[in-house]
Amino acid sequence: MRFAEPTLQRCCLCRGEAESVAIAIQIGRIARPGCVIALYGELGAGKTRFAQGVASGLGVTEPVTSPTFTLLNEYRHARFPFFHVDCYRLGTDGVETFILALDEWMGEEGVVVIEWAERLQAYLPPEHLQVDIEPAGENKRWLHFTAYGRQAVELLRQLKGYDFDCSHR
C-alpha cells in the first residue's frame, strides 16, 4: 500500500514512562474516528504502555491489556471504539485473513493502535501516525512521530507542552 507523503515529523525525549504515557493520553484526547496509530520499537520499549495511554485519553476505564495472544482487544465504552492490535505473534500464514478483519475494524469509526506495526507495514492505511519508540538509556526514550496524511498532521500539531526537537537524528 502506498502511504501519503510524510508531511510532519516530530521527536520528543521522554525522561520516564510517565512522560511518554502523558503524551499518549493527550493523543487519545485529540484522536478522532478513523485514526490509526502504528507503534514501532523493540521488545520492552513501551508500546503497550503507550497504547494504554491512548486508551485512557479516549476515556477507556477498563484495564487495557496486551492482545499478544489474541491479536486484538476491543474497548467500546469510550468516546470512540478503541481497537488495540498486537502483531508480535502474527505469522505469515494468517496475515491475509487478519488484514481482512483489520480493514473492517478500521472502517468502524474507531481509533486503532497497532503494536509491532512493521509486521503489517505493507497493509497499513496510507494515512496514519507512525510512532517509533527508541530507548535512550536510564528510563528515557525518544518518541519519533511521523504523520502520514491530513488527520495525523492535525493530531501532531495539536500536541502541546513538549519540546519536539529532532536534531539528534
Average pLDDT, the chain: 85
Enter the C-alpha cell of residue 165.
526537537
Note whether residue 163 is domain-resident. Answer: no
* CATH number of residue 24's parent domain: 3.40.50.300
pLDDT digits (tens, 9 = 90+) for 94-111: 666 666 666 666 656 889
Instruction: Let me know if 63 is exposed, middle or buried by CB neighbors in 10 A (0-12, 13-18, 19+).
Output: exposed
- Total tally of structural domains belonging to the chain: 1
**pLDDT score, position 93:** 60
Percent of the chain at pLDDT above 70?
82
Instruction: Give me the pLDDT at residue 95, please.
Output: 63
Whether 1 is in a domain gets the answer: no
Query: Can you give the residue range of the structural domain that contains 42?
Result: 17-139+150-158
Q: What pTM was estimated for this model as a whole?
A: 0.89
| Percent of the chain predicted with pLDDT > 90 | 52
Neighbours of 105 (CB within 10 A): 15
Higher pLDDT, 144 or 4: 144
Q: Considering the domain boundaries, does residue 109 fall inside one?
A: yes
Rounded to whole angstroms, how far apart are CA atoms 15 and 23?
12
DSSP assignment string, 58-117: HT--S-----TTTSEEEE-SSSS-EEEEE-TT--GGGHHHHHHHHHHHHTTSSEEEEETG
Q: Is residue 144 part of a domain?
A: no
Tell me, yes or no, whether 9 lies in a domain: no
Q: For residue 138, what are the contacts with CB-CB under 8 A and spacing of at least 6?
A: none
